[in-house]
Structure 1
Amino acid sequence: METSYSIHTGESTTLGVVDFIVFGSTLSVALLIGIYYAIQSRHRNDPSDFLVAGRSMGILPVSLSLVVTFLSALTLLGLPAEIYNYNTMFWWLALGMVLAVAGAAHIFNPVFYNMGITSVYEYLEMRFGRTVTILASLNWLFQTIVYLSFVLYAPSLALKSVTGMELWVSILTVGGLVTLYTSMGGMKAVLWADSFQALLILVGLLSVFIQGTLVTDGLHNAWDIASEHSRVYFHDFSANPTTRHSFWSVAIGGGMMWMSYYAVNQCQIQRLLACPTLKRAQVAIWINSIGLAVIVSICCLIGIVMFAFYKDCHPLHYNLIQSTDELLPLFVMDILGHLPGLPGIFLSCIFSGSLSSLSSGINALSAVVLQDYVRPFSSRSLSNLQATIITKCTAASFGFLCIGLAFVASTLGNVLQVSYAILSTLDGPLFGIFILGMFFPRANQWGAIAGYISGLLFLSWVGFGAYLYDVQTPMSHFSVHGCNWNVTNSSATNFTEETEADDYLSIYHLSYLNYTATGAFVNVAVGIVVSLITGYGKPVTTDPKLICPVINTVFPCLPNTLKQKFSYTAVDIEQRAEIQIVEQVPACKKLPGDRVL
């Protein structure tokens, strides 16, 4: 069996008939779910049923959908390759995800849920006005469309690696499928399809991990091999923000990035709004955190065993693959290719990650367009039927747009880092607007606009500079002395690194995981200053329900006198003692007369 491995033959195994049957069957399930809910809801023309499932979904489907919405093929393919190329520092992201979920569930999400909105940008309109809403929603629309194009491209790359199928065939097939079932079935179809796909992802990853440990003589042996070659490394605690992956950049910077996903991203908020109560939404997001940590950990372990398998023959060196994003599909075909059906399950796992992200994104895009553009600019009130038709047509249109942009994504290189860098550049300033609005009652429209533009320009400058000067962190050492098939020197890829003195600013080395936190900080800092200048001497007129009661949430047992020192006023700071705001104290008995921040 050993001679069937690509590192011994120079040729990779391809999918068999059984694998295609398994793969096609799993894709058909998602389509059938969409058709079922399209038929079931054919007489219900309420857009809230299409967008938030009538706010009646249970905890399990919502939590499973939350898990897979942003754990797309980008993560499933990119994370094992990250461990293979560098080391295990990225594993700290599991901790960052838990911190992100805690902040989102108990600080940000209650504000949105209690307002009864459908689009998070409805909050910004109430807080800062129409101009800020347009700026923020356009940012998110562009950001999401770019992200979905990467999400669609990544599994198509995997399919090309194991079948030789042209990218355009895969992109059109998968993009058309997800557009069809999302635009037909709405949120209920999305949530139940996501739940099925979450189970597929878990089965697929476990299959690869278990078989990988068998062919590398156990996890302990694979871990030792990876450790000997510097792949097992957890103790980079450098506080330098330019360190690509340190504890602080991954756990805190990455945690801030994921908090923005779970706290203010329409894709996730829309799922939480599908729950009938805030309590259930919070339970769902905490269950989701367990799923996130498990899947990230399995992906990292697959990276460990994958490196142990290829330790003596780096596949990219002799062009077995064209990029490290194809490592995992090659590994799967090497270790599972002789077991009919299992490679098909893995391929279904990768595509499930992307289908879930695509369906969630397309549904969220249609919600934002309806609530923030169609309704406000419509000359007359839309009927439920008209709104539903517009929403379904919008979902289909965005699906086809993402198909077109997926071809552009195929030219941009490392899918994990490039997608995270682009998203964070846009996401940081956007997250900053919500932070400014929820935590600073005196922040006004001019501060929000100035902060957003400043954060976006700063991060765009940093990101463009890093791209222009091709700022990269050298990969760890690879070996090729174990490649034992007949090759010519001309077929090998040259990995010799040329060392040059940096002739660009050190800020361009800023870790891509710190982009979100940096953009949010610039936004808030500039926003506070501009708000104080433009609103000096004016009374604060912020509606209390738009402000997050963070002190009461984080420190519910503080004495009432201390809470009052941090409370805010909805009219004027001089009238603080006269303002009564209803408080929720989950951990202690509510005291009469308490006020919230």
Structure 2
Amino acid sequence: MVGTGGPVATFSEWDYVVFAGTIVGAAGLGLFQAFRGRKESSSAEYFLGGRQMSAVPVAMSLTASFMSGVTVIGTPAEAYLYGTSFWLFGISYVIMSFITAEIFVPLFYRLGITSAYEYLEMRFSRLIRVLGTFMYTMQTILYTGLVIYAPALALNQITGMDLWGVLVATGAVCIVYCTLGGLKAVIWTDVLQMVIMLTGFVAVIARGAVLQGGLDKIWEDAGQGGRLETFDFDPDPLKRHTFWSMTIGGSVTWMSVYAINQSQVQRYISCKTLRHAKMALYVNMVGLCVTLSLAMLSGLAMFSIYKNCDPFTNGDVGSTDQLLPYLVMDILAVYPGIPGLFVAAAYSGTLSTVSSSINALVAVTVEDFIRPVWKNLSVKQTTWLSMGLSVFFGALCIGMAGVASQMGSVLQAALSIFGMLSGPLLGLYLLGMLFRTANSIGGLTGMFLSLVLTLWVGIGGQLYPATADKTNPLPVSTAGCNNTLQSNMTTETPWTTPVTQPDVRPPLADFYSLSYLYISFLGTLTTIVIGLLVSMITGGCKQGKLNSQLFVRKSDFACFSCSHKSQVSGKTEKGATEFDIGADKSGFVHCDPTSHDFVEATKL
């Protein structure tokens, strides 16, 4: 019986057919884009889709890139265990989208860069660019390993498939269409995968509502179980989720993902105009909120069904990240093919993220490490080199999935990785974009010390998790279980929480208990403060005239409907207005300062 614990059904033949058909369709779309663009073989085509992409497919790709299998598996489990406080991420999505669209996008777009880390060399030094690229590479390989592991765990739970077999298959599919098709293949495949992912959530919610007697009943059960206590205004930074950690810490965390992460920057600078680039981010904001809402509703439906029999405490699943896959087979197995659709949804989210990561890793490796050393590579050599690197990074990400399996909750681990490595980088960009006083010595010192601090706190938090009173665990029950499986946990009452703590905690354990959402904020703030102080001490105020193109300008905010000259074709796009431009000593084309029109800056 549904919701009473015990073994559930496994994949049927139709489930395998639906799952396989969905994955083959996604890979086929990527390969179609690859063969379609074979005559346009260039690095700009491979990495940036020829800079001719439109807002809507780019927006869906932006959403799919980080709404991965981690989201499909982790977010419903978050709602089930901790309630709706995670829904406050919707506010951070809005804040992040506005800042990224109005500050970062115009700057990157007018510089005409391929790698986001080119800016660090323009503003600071070659060394800082190399270090920034290295940090991004390490972060992305770790995160991608986690993303590959999450749906493999789901498939292992639902189908009994070999875990490592699934891991290798995931990487192999991504490598094929990523290697052959470049960014266009990645973006258009992401569009299909985004639709599949949302469909999987809808199927879970709809079936849950039917079983429980409507969405009203699900909402009522969630309220009685304490899952609707969304707003906690406690300023304590050690509490896992509060209004402040979700909005302030969450905004900075997601900004470090969307504003400077190559996987995302590469997408919006592939748009054909600045207007399309900005619009892609605002449409993406809506997509993020819709995806978050469907994932949270799926988690609340899961709690309504299992409010009297928690599968984790009852021993039916070995990890809280297996809760949603278990639910799918419990409530949807009566409809052959539907569980296959759900697994395809989790798998599709993973394919989109992994392919995006591989493409971005290849782009930064070629632009930041290889081109500066071998400047005379032909188009053919660059293409073959890019394909080889795609295979290499794909294999490396598969290997990192084994490390990811040791990192606990996939959702928190994913965001912690971004906090530890992207926070210091975000601070470096803001330091360069907003403060003319900042110099390379200050930037390097600030980023290094910030990185040491965030790694110390982040790794300490993994080794010594916060105590139960800081993680806000909510009660679960096993009173209604059939007890067909023996639980590894015992309790004197039917209510318990799946949280364990180390026996010995060091004196700094509370410091390590800083909410994982504040790690990125801590890194960003530390880089800016130390960077400014060191810059002023080392002569930052006495620097010569700096290129104004490298700083945020007031016109960036007003320049929503802009024209520009295409970096690829060199021709003014339709609807553009011609006006005088000139070149400054640094070799950047710039606009007439009295005009609000925009010309893409290109190196002369």
User: If the length of structure 1 is used for normalisation, what is the TM-score?
Assistant: 0.90
Listed as ranges, the matches of 1:23-34 within 5 Å are: 23-34=19-30
SS class of match (1:318)? coil
Q: CA deviation at 1:214?
A: 1.2
Aligned partner (choices 81, 86, 100) of residue 82 of structure 2:
86
How far apart in 1 are the matches of 2:545 and 2:511?
Answer: 39
Q: Secondary structure at 2:476's aligned position in 1?
A: coil
- What secondary structure does 2:542 align onto? coil
Letter in 1 for 2:145: S
Aligned to 2:221: 225
> Residues 508 and 485 from structure 1, CA distance in 2 versus in 1: closer, same or farther, beyond 3 angstroms?
closer
Instruction: Tell me which of 46, 55, 60 is aligned to 2:56.
Output: 60
Match of residue 516 from structure 2: 512
Contact residue 4 and residue 482 of structure 2 kept, 8 A: yes
Of 433, 444, 448 in structure 2, the residue corresponding to residue 453 of structure 1 is 448
Q: 1:240 aligns with which of 236, 243, 248?
A: 236
Q: 1:518 to 1:184 in 2, by over 3 A?
A: same
* Counterpart-to-counterpart distance in 2, 1:515 and 1:496: 24
Aligned to 1:564: none
Could you tell me which residue of structure 2 aligns to residue 73 of structure 1?
Answer: 69
Measure, in 1, the Cα distance between the counterparts of 2:63 and 2:350. 12
Cα pair 2:70 2:410 within 8 Å, conserved: yes
Deviations 1:500-559 (A, max 9, x none): 896533322211011111100000000000111111552343210000125973999xxx
Give the whole-Å Cα distance in 1 for the aligned partners of 2:244 and 2:504: 27
Which residue of structure 2 aligns with residue 375 of structure 1? 371
CA deviations over 1:48-75 (Å, ceiling 9, x no partner):
1110000111222111101111111111
1:194–1:486: structure 2 CA closer, same or farther, 3 Å change rule? closer
Structure 1 segments of 4+ aligned residues over 4 angstroms from their partners: 485-503, 583-586
Stretches of structure 2 lacking an aligned partner (at least 5 in a row): 561-583, 599-604
Match of 1:428 in 2: 423
Aligned pairs, how many? Answer: 562
Which residue, 264, 285, 295 being the options, matches 1:268? 264
2:322 alignment partner in structure 1:
326
Matched, 1:582 2:577: no
SS of corresponding position for 1:377 = coil
TM-score by length of 2: 0.89
Kept in 1: contact 2:82–2:474 (CA 8 A): yes
Deviation (angstroms), 1:496: 8.0
Q: Which amino acid aligns with 1:60?
A: V
Out of 547, 557, 567, the residue aligned to residue 543 of structure 1 is 547
CA shift for structure 1 position 471:
2.6
Q: Indicate the residue corresponding to 2:481 in structure 1.
A: 483
1:491: how far off? 8.2
Q: Provide the secondary structure at the position in 2 that maps to 1:364.
A: helix
Shift of 1:274: 1.3
CA deviations 1:455-492 (Å, max 9, x no partner) are 10111121222223233425211110100244556687
Partner of 1:186: 182
Pairwise CA RMSD: 2.4
Q: Distance in 1 between matches of 2:45 and 2:591?
A: 36
Q: What aligned pairs does 1:110-509 form with structure 2 within 5 A after superposition? A: 110-378=106-374, 380-472=375-467, 473=471, 475-488=473-486, 503-505=506-508, 506-509=510-513
| Residue equivalent to 2:537 | 533
Q: Distance in 1 between matches of 2:559 and 2:371?
A: 40
Shift of 1:30: 1.9
Q: Is the 8 A contact 1:33 1:189 kept in 2?
A: yes
Counterpart-to-counterpart distance in 2, 1:215 and 1:554: 51
Q: For 2:57, what is the secondary structure of its paired residue?
A: helix
**Per-residue deviation at 1:260?**
1.6
Cα distance in 1 between the residues matched to 2:152 and 2:185? 23
Tell me the distance in 2 between the aligned counterparts of 1:98 and 1:536: 34
Task: Give the partner amino acid of 1:549.
Answer: R
- How many Å apart are 1:164 and its aligned residue? 0.9
One-letter amino acid matched to 1:360: S
Higher mean Cα deviation, 444-453 or 507-516? 507-516
**Cα distance in 2 for residues equivalent to 1:496 and 1:87:** 15
Distance 2:203 2:123 in 1: 49
Cα deviation, residue 142, structure 1: 0.3
- Relative to structure 1, the CA distance from residue 469 to residue 421 in structure 2 (aligned partners, 3 Å threshold; closer, same or farther) is same
| Pair 1:106 & 2:102 matched | yes
Contact 1:469-1:504 at 8 Å conserved across structures: no
Contact 2:196/2:348, CA 8 A, preserved across alignment = yes
Letter matched to residue 36 of structure 1: F
CA offsets, 1:415-450, max 9 Å, x none? 111121122111100111101110011111001100
* Partner Cα separation in structure 1 for residue 294 and residue 504 of structure 2: 38
Q: CA deviation at 1:6?
A: 6.2
Give the conservation status (yes or no) of the 8 Å contact 2:315–2:485: no
Q: How far apart are the structure 1 equivalents of 2:380 and 2:454? A: 42
Share of identical aligned residues, percent? 38
Mark the CA change 1:523 to 1:77 in structure 2 (over 3 Å): closer, same or farther: same
The counterpart of 2:31, out of the listed 20, 29, 35, is: 35
Residues 174-209 of structure 1 deviation map (CA, whole Å, 9 limit, x = unaligned) = 111011111111111101100011111111111111
Corresponding letter in the other structure for 2:107? V
- Measured after TM superposition, the shift of residue 224 of structure 1 is 1.2
Counterpart contact for 2:420–2:523, Cα < 8 Å: yes
Q: Which moved more, 1:82-91 or 1:543-552?
A: 543-552
Go from structure 1 to structure 2 and tell me whether the alpha carbon gap of 1:536 and 1:24 turns closer, same or farther (over 3 Å shift).
Answer: closer
Q: Deviations over 1:97-140 (max 9, x none)?
A: 11101100011111001111100111111110101001111000
Cα 1:581–1:238 change in 2 (3 A) is farther
Q: How far off its partner does 1:382 sit?
A: 1.1
